[in-house]
Amino acid sequence: MLALDKDGKPRGFGSRRHYCFSHPGYRSECARIVTALAERYGKNPHVAAWQTDNEYACHATTLSYSKAATEGFRNWLAQKYQSPDALNRAWGNVFWSMEYGDWGDIALPNLTVTEPSPAHVMDFRRFASNEVVTFNRLQTEIIRRHSAYPIAHNYMGAVTEFDHFATGADLDIASWDSYPLGFLSDRIPADPEHKRRFVRQGDPDFQAFHHDLYRAVGRGRWWIMEQQPGPVNWAPYNPDPLPGMARLWAWEAFAHGAEAVCYFRWRQAPFAQEQMHAGLLRPDSAPAQAFSEAEAVARELAVLPDVGTAPASVALIFDYASDWAWEIQPQGRSFSYFWLVFHIYKGLRRLGLNVDILPPDTADLAAYKLVLAPGLFTLSDTLMAALAAHDGTAILGPRTNSKTGNFAIPVPLPPNLPGLDAKVIRVESLPPDVPVPLAQGGALIHWREKLEGSATETEVAEDGWPALVSGGRLHYLAGWPDDQALARILQRACTAEGIETDPMPEGLRRRDTATHRFLFNYNAVAAEWGGVTIPAAGVHWSTIEG
Residue among 22, 21, 2, 20 nearest 10 (CA): 2
Q: Is residue 466 within 8 Å of residue 457, measured between CB atoms?
A: yes
406 by Cβ neighbours in 10 Å (0-12 / 13-18 / 19+) ranks as middle
Output the CA–CA distances (angstroms, integers) from residue 281 to 243, 250, 269, 272, in the order listed.
Answer: 16, 17, 10, 17
C-alpha to C-alpha distance for 323 and 104, rounded to whole angstroms: 29
Q: Which parts of 452-511 fold into alpha helices (H)? A: 483-497
- Cβ neighbours of residue 544 closer than 8 Å, sequence gap 6 or more: 512, 513, 514, 515, 516, 517
C-alpha to C-alpha distance for 494 and 233, rounded to whole angstroms: 42
- Residues serving a catalytic function are 55, 226
C-alpha to C-alpha distance for 358 and 370, rounded to whole angstroms: 13
C-alpha to C-alpha distance for 18 and 54, rounded to whole angstroms: 13
C-alpha to C-alpha distance for 509 and 349, rounded to whole angstroms: 7
Which residues partner with 539 through β-bridges? 520
Q: Is residue 449 within 8 Å of residue 393, measured between CB atoms?
A: no
- Cβ neighbours of residue 530 closer than 8 Å, sequence gap 6 or more: none
C-alpha to C-alpha distance for 350 and 119, rounded to whole angstroms: 38
C-alpha to C-alpha distance for 112 and 438, rounded to whole angstroms: 41
Q: Is residue 189 within 8 Å of residue 237, measured between CB atoms?
A: no
C-alpha to C-alpha distance for 100 and 91, rounded to whole angstroms: 11
CA torsion, points 459, 386, 315, 445, in degrees to nearest 10?
-30
C-alpha to C-alpha distance for 301 and 297, rounded to whole angstroms: 6
Q: At what angle do helices 245-255 and 289-303 cross, to 10 degrees?
A: 40
CA torsion, points 529, 530, 531, 532, in degrees to nearest 10?
-50
C-alpha to C-alpha distance for 29 and 455, rounded to whole angstroms: 59
Residue type at 195 in one-letter notation: K
Residue type at 3 in one-letter notation: A
- What number of residues does the chain have? 546
Q: How many beta carbons lie within 10 A of that of residue 413, not counting itself?
A: 15
DSSP class of 505: P
Q: Is residue 429 within 8 Å of residue 396, measured between CB atoms?
A: no
Parallel, antiparallel or unpaired: strands 436-437 and 443-452: antiparallel
